């Protein structure tokens, strides 16, 4: 909960919420944001049963990362950027992936849910085992990037295991 409070920096002012921007350093965008968004796109493609064409996956991942970066510069309530990214991912899956609306929306929601669960659990474990505080994670770029990588790796592993499992299941259905 302290991470959320620190990141969104909500200030109560006369009963009215004022939301400040979330500034992400460019190095964090490049070393953590883009890999995370590519992993998100990869998992979404697998869930939506879209063939993994890496040029499309990379394009979507990079665009999602830069959109997240820009969206977080605006003074909007925490979490709105997530809704906007779900919609963007949905549009990309429907348009570039040429999948139906229902499956694209489902894949977008499930992917962001998995991202949230993995990110929360990985960060919580790192803070527990290494004694990091949310302030340390937010202010120390090296720690912020290193702690952000395990959930990215787990997203890729999840995508590839799901792809492998779904291929076996499809082969099993034809026998």
Are residues 27 and 86 in contact, defined by beta-carbon separation less than 8 angstroms? no
Contacts (Cβ under 8 Å, ≥6 apart) of 160 = 46
pTM recorded for the entire structure: 0.83
64-113 pLDDT tens trace: 999 999 988 888 887 888 999 999 999 999 988 777 899 999 999 999 99
Position 12 confidence tier, pLDDT thresholds 50, 70, 90: very low
- Residue 149: per-residue pLDDT: 94
| Helix or strand (DSSP H, E) at 126 | helix 101-130
Residue 67, sorted as left (phi over 0), alpha (psi -120 to 50) or beta, turns out to be: alpha
pLDDT at residue 165 above 80? yes
Are residues 81 and 32 in contact, defined by beta-carbon separation less than 8 angstroms? no
pLDDT at residue 46 above 50? yes
Are residues 69 and 23 in contact, defined by beta-carbon separation less than 8 angstroms? no
CA-based nearest residue to 163, from 39, 36, 40, 43: 43
Top-confidence residue, 81 or 42: 42
Top-confidence residue, 140 or 64: 64
């Amino acid at each position: 909960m302290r991470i959320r409070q620190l990141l969104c920096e909500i200030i109560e002012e006369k009963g009215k919420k004022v939301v400040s921007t979330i500034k992400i350093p460019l190095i964090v965008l490049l070393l953590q944001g883009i890999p995370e968004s590519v992993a998100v796109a990869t998992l979404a493609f697998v869930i939506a049963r879209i063939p993994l064409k890496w040029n499309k996956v990379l394009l979507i991942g990079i665009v999602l990362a830069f959109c997240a970066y820009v969206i977080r510069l605006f003074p909007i309530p925490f979490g709105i950027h997530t809704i906007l990214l779900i919609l963007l991912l949905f549009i990309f899956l429907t348009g570039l992936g040429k999948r139906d609306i229902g499956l694209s929306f489902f894949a977008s929601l499930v992917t962001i849910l998995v991202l949230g669960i993995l990110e929360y659990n990985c960060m919580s474990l790192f803070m527990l085992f290494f004694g990091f505080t949310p302030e340390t994670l937010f202010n120390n770029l090296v720690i912020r990037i290193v702690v952000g990588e395990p959930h990215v790796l787990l997203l890729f592993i999840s995508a590839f295991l799901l792809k492998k499992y779904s291929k076996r299941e499809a082969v099993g259905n034809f026998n």
